[in-house]
């Protein structure tokens, strides 16, 4: 079992470290790579998975509801903690709500459970992205524009993929293969980018980072266990929602904080320490759910 878990975690950590050491030596500007990934590779992955004949949305309804409630419930717990401890709510709460479903969740799900888990993993990712770009943005600023958010390539690809699946439209096979190849680039690039972002993080707010590294998976797990009881999840869906609930804060939290000027350096510390803490949390979680 330990060897199996090591085999799951190792590729993820190795690619993140590759990004870290490359960035330490060459200081690359990843803005273009991030834009390409968000605009092309990730949408291709989303569309490719959701438009497949083997994907049936009705099989994931309860999982999607549970994911949304894990996010919202984690936010409520984080809000209470922030109020009690006098922490800036806009800085602390979003990273506790929106987890790293892209950089960590997708690759871990595939490595741990196989390609059969990709459909559920993509659904969880879509829920997280939809709430992050709408509710998350509104928490940070009332100046955000909902229409521009809904035009996000990832969200558009999600809707397009579900639409094609729903009407049963058969895509040209070479087009499907092209989208599959583009989508395969998304996950490695997400991990590599995470490693690059570890460079230059300021750990002055390390105490808040440690608090976040503990509270983020703990609050998510509490809500997930309630969902497991309510919906009586078993097998793959049980494993997926538990894994989803303990994922660390999303790197996107830092990008959003930077966009809306909401203490981005502090958010970066919370995000990166949470992701570092996941090196302990994820193996323990995998040990219990596999």
What is the pLDDT confidence band of residue 264, given thresholds at 50, 70 and 90? confident
C-alpha–C-alpha distance, residues 106 and 33, integer Å: 19
Query: How high is the pLDDT of residue 196?
Result: 85
Mean pLDDT of the chain: 88
Q: Nearest 5 degrees, angle CA 31-CA 128-CA 243?
A: 105
Query: How high is the pLDDT of residue 152?
Result: 79
Could you tell me how far CA 162 lies from the centroid of its own chain?
A: 20
* Residue 116 lies in domain: 2-289
What percentage of the chain carries pLDDT values higher than 70? 94
For tokens 């040990």, the residue is 287
Average pLDDT over residues 207-213: 94
249 φ, ψ to 5°?
-60, 145
C-alpha–C-alpha distance, residues 57 and 54, integer Å: 10
Query: How high is the pLDDT of residue 265?
Result: 79
CA torsion 67-117-108-215 (nearest 10°) is: 20
Residue 149 · residue 138 · CB < 8 Å: no
What is the pLDDT confidence band of residue 236, given thresholds at 50, 70 and 90? very high
Q: Count of domains in the chain?
A: 1
Query: How high is the pLDDT of residue 53?
Result: 62
Residue 98 · residue 132 · CB < 8 Å: yes
C-alpha–C-alpha distance, residues 37 and 29, integer Å: 14
- Count of CB atoms situated within 10 Å of the CB of 173: 8
- Count of CB atoms situated within 10 Å of the CB of 266: 21
Three-state SS at 99: strand
CATH of the domain at 215: 1.20.1530.20
Residue 72 · residue 66 · CB < 8 Å: no
State yes or no: pLDDT of 216 exceeds 70.
Answer: yes
Span 110-148, pLDDT tens digits: 889 988 888 899 889 889 988 988 888 888 877 666 666
Span 60-99, pLDDT tens digits: 999 999 999 999 999 999 999 999 999 999 999 999 999 9
Average pLDDT over residues 209-235: 95
């Amino acid at each position: 079992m330990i060897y199996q878990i090591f085999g799951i975690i190792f590729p993820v950590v190795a690619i993140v470290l590759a990004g870290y050491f490359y960035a330490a030596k060459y200081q690359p500007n990843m803005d273009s790579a991030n834009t390409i990934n968000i605009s092309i590779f990730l949408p291709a992955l989303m569309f490719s998975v959701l438009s497949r004949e083997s994907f049936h949305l009705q099989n994931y309804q309860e999982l999607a509801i549970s994911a949304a409630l894990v996010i919202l419930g984690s936010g409520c717990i984080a809000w209470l903690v922030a109020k009690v401890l006098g922490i800036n709510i806009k800085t602390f709460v979003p990273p506790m709500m929106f987890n790293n479903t892209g950089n960590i969740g997708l690759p871990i799900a595939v490595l741990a459970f196989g390609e059969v888990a990709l459909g559920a993993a993509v659904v969880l990712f879509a829920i997280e992205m939809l709430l992050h770009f709408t509710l998350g943005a509104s928490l940070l600023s009332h100046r955000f524009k909902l229409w521009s958010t809904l035009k996000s390539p990832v969200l558009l690809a999600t809707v397009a993929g579900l639409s094609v699946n729903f009407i049963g439209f058969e895509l040209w096979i070479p087009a499907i293969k092209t989208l599959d190849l583009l989508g395969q680039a998304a996950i490695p690039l997400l991990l590599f980018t995470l490693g690059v972002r570890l460079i230059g993080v300021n750990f002055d707010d390390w105490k808040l980072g440690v608090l976040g590294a503990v509270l983020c998976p703990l609050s998510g797990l509490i809500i997930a266990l309630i969902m497991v009881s309510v919906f009586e999840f078993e097998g793959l869906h049980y494993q997926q929602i538990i894994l989803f609930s303990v994922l660390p804060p999303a790197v996107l939290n830092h990008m959003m904080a930077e966009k809306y000027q909401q203490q981005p350096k502090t958010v970066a510390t919370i995000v990166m320490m949470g992701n570092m803490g996941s090196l302990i949390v994820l193996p323990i979680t995998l040990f219990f759910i596999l």
